[in-house]
Structure 1
Amino acid sequence: MHLPRARHEYLLREIALRGSVRSGEAATHLGVSEVTVRRDIIELDRAGRLARVHGGAIALSANRGPQAARALVGLVVPSTTAHFPDVVRGMEALAPALRVRLVLGVSHYRPEVEATQVDRLLSLGATALAVAPTTRGRTSEELAAWLRSIPVPVVLVERRIDGTTSLSELDLVRTDHAHGAVVAVEHLHGLGHRQVAVAVYDRTPTARHVRDGFTTAVERLGLVAGPDVSLSKGDDDPARLRAELESFLDDCLATGTRAAFVHTDDHAARLLEVALDRGVTVPDDFAVVAYDDENAELAAVPLTTVTPPRRELGREALRLLVDRLTEDGGDRRPPRHVELLPRLTVRESCGAVAAV
């Protein structure tokens, strides 16, 4: 049986010679399973040695000289802050290898702007679109009707499809945010906490799934649900958010709750400030795990977080689109719904580092 290093060398040699390699053919040549070859390709893709595509891998364009883009792909996101910059960067990093030119449009969470951006991208010649649509102010079927009217392949980005609607016929890539919340609660439970509070910034599409995961984990582990609060954004009214966090901390201390799961990491960082101002030591007196990882490491006490795989999300969305663009028109693959799992990044705020 070929060792991993030998398999990697074979894959890279084939790509250098031919420009691409198919996982099935490589598996036959190497005498290993196709799953093994796929894992090798994923590892080499993450190391920046090749570009993974459906059914195999291709050479990075940087290793093959300049190449003209074979497709213009549009990306429409609601914001260029918080969650989406890393999604865009993930797509940007992979685009040259797939010979794709990206063009970005921002909707600012306004459906009419979103539609205008899509029309603009189509007029520029976009042959496929990745869209993180605004969900407020329209039903699932209204959204589906609009998306299905777009005359090029569309991939939904970071949006969940609930129930049976025609939206389910579109390709989709998203983070399993509920799973991330489960991981956070399981981690606190593993540190000995039997009562966990939750604070959520509810005005985001992510919030409901974070709450669902929290509830699932608390019930499955037989924990006591601690105080539960819905937080405001804070940027427009910092005093209001601080009052909410002070009240939340008071409720936690009054009920003997010594651990909290907080969405987002910015809100968690502000909770730490409130706690420290009150003489509450984190993590000795109070443990915190945050959802999201924008600036968590820079908090007064570096925050343990659930870290969404944003760059990989962008790369996966682009792969789905390129697969659609290159498939045989007479043999269209069924819609694909890809869920990526966030990971736990352990820092100081939960107490695990001190416990080691």
Structure 2
Amino acid sequence: MTLPDPPTPLPDERRAQVVELLRRRGVVRVNELASELDVSVITIRRDIALLSSQGLIRRVRGGAVLQNGPVAETLGHGEPEEIAVIADAGQPQPTIGMVVPSLDYYWPDVIRGVREAAAASGAKIVLRGATYQAADERRQLARLVETGEVDGLLVAPTTTGDDGEELVRWLQGTGVPVVLIERAAEVGDYREAMESVVSDHVFGAAMAVRHLAALGHRRIGLITTRQSPTSVHVRRGWRQACEELGLDGAVPDVDTVDQRDPGWPKALDDVLDACVSSRTTALLVHSDPEAISLVERCRERGIRVPGDLALVTYDDEVADLCDPPLTAVRPPKAAIGRAAFGMLAGRLADPDPERPAHRVIIEPRLIVRFSSS
């Protein structure tokens, strides 16, 4: 006769089991608890966070110890080798999972900044690339979280639309410390901010407009790509600066496909036609590939850059390779990576659930080249 499976313990019963296991063993790793109690690593992380907030246990990397128990004292006075085995199970430095939407444009410098900061502290980075799709991002993140091998996450997720909002809620519920990179999001009934480090793209776009206005341009248009999460911030900064400076509003304001799309050549000609008909003399373009393609089309149509149309591009990934070299707004990518790692390291060092959320905003720079002179 096959015996029925034992009933699944209630949450309070499971947490009591966690405390009892700690009383018997002193230290238990997250993976071990998940396996013994037949629940997910995420569930155990949530239990540990709650028990820690109640003062019943103390969290350490990879697991938990009883608050003020004998092992907690050992952690302060034992030999270094014993501390490494007991507190960190042979992994004295954290392992950080990092998921970004691209590994070949914009994000390599952000990754470099993270790796520089991680190397200085001895932390390990596990990098994954995604595709600007919430489902793909969640798949990559779930693989990192469910193994229980990462202590925290650095991630640039999709945050808009139903899928993006669901992804943000899922991230918040993993029980793993998370810092958003170049993204911001709010969660919960009161729209509490998640921890984040972002470039001030609104400021960067406004800086480009002020630069062009200082050169005498009164009609400054905008081209953005609708696939980019940055476009909404660039547009906001452009509009604010145009309004503050009292610039002419009858100019192209286009959110279009990117230069790889079959519809790009027609969209590009439509923009240039609009520039000619509205007597627009300057454009802010997001991003570099679209700006370079625009310059090439201007040359084919006999439109001089910057004589007839001055250009500023946003990103400064390959702007200096254009002919002529393009004036560009350069987001502080490596600094973003370093700051994001530092914020996450601070969160790991202080797992207090009452610790307030931190948000860091870093300003871009304007690099002046020939296309706006």
Q: TM-score range by the shorter chain?
A: 0.7 to 0.9
Q: Percent identity?
A: 40
Q: 1:294 aligns with which of 300, 303, 317?
A: 317
Runs of at least 5 residues in structure 1 that lack an aligned partner in the other structure: 1-67, 352-356
**1:99-114 correspondence to structure 2 within 5 Å:** 99-114=122-137
Aligned counterpart, 2:368:
346
* Cα distance in 2, alignment partners of residues 205 and 216 from structure 1: 18
Counterpart secondary structure, 1:349: helix
Pick from 212, 218, 234 the counterpart of residue 188 of structure 1: 212
Q: Which residue of 2 aligns with 1:204?
A: 228
Asked if 1:160 is matched to 2:213, the reply is: no
CA separation of 1:166/1:147 partners in 2, compared to 1, >3 Å: closer, same or farther? farther
**Cα distance in 1 for residues equivalent to 2:203 and 2:357:** 23
* Aligned counterpart for 1:228 among listed residues 242, 253, 261: 253
Contact 2:201 2:230 in 1 (8 A): yes
Alignment partner of 1:337 is 2:362: no
Secondary structure at the aligned position of 2:339 is classed as helix
Displacement of 1:177: 1.0
Aligned AA for 2:329? V
Q: How does 1:18-167 map to 2 (within 5 A)?
A: 70-122=93-145, 123=147, 125-138=149-162, 142-161=166-185
Q: Is the 8 A contact 1:141 1:167 kept in 2?
A: no
CA distances 1:162-194 after superposition (whole Å, capped 9, x unpaired): 798666342111111111110010000011111
TM-score of the superposition, structure 1-length normalised? 0.74
- 1:127–1:299 CA distance, 2 compared to 1 (3 A): same
Distance 1:106 1:338 in 2: 23
Q: Is the 8 A contact 1:181 1:213 kept in 2?
A: yes
SS in 2 for 1:194: coil
**Quick check: 1:78–1:109 contact (8 Å CA) kept in 2?**
yes
> Deviation string for 1:29-58 (max 9, x for gaps)?
xxxxxxxxxxxxxxxxxxxxxxxxxxxxxx
2:159 is paired with a residue whose SS is coil
Structure 2: 5+ residue stretches without partners: 1-90
Aligned-residue Cα RMSD (Å) equals 2.2
On the 8 A contact 2:197/2:339 being kept in 1, the answer is yes
Equivalent residue number for residue 315 of structure 1: 338
Between the aligned partners of 1:143 and 1:119, the Cα distance in structure 2 is 11
C-alpha change, 1:162 and 1:271, in structure 2 (3 Å) is farther
> 1:242 touches 1:270 (CA, 8 Å); kept in 2?
no
Alignment map for 1:269-280 (pairs within 5 Å):
269-280=292-303
SS state at 2:120 partner: coil
Which aligned runs of 4 or more in structure 1 are off by greater than 4 angstroms? Answer: 162-167, 329-332
State the alpha-carbon separation in 1 of the partners of residues 193 and 187 from structure 2.
12
Cα–Cα, structure 1 residues 166 and 119, in superposed 2: closer, same or farther, change >3 Å? Answer: farther
Cα displacement (A) at 1:90: 1.0
SS across alignment from 2:192: helix
Output the CA distance in 2 between the equivalents of 1:248 and 1:343.
27
Corresponding residue pairs, total: 282
Q: Please tell me the residue identity of whatever aligns with 1:272.
A: V
Indicate if the aligned counterparts of 1:141 and 1:166 stay in contact, CA closer than 8 A.
Answer: no
Rg comparison, structure with higher value: 2
Residue type of the alignment partner of 2:304: T
1:112 Cα deviation after fit: 3.1
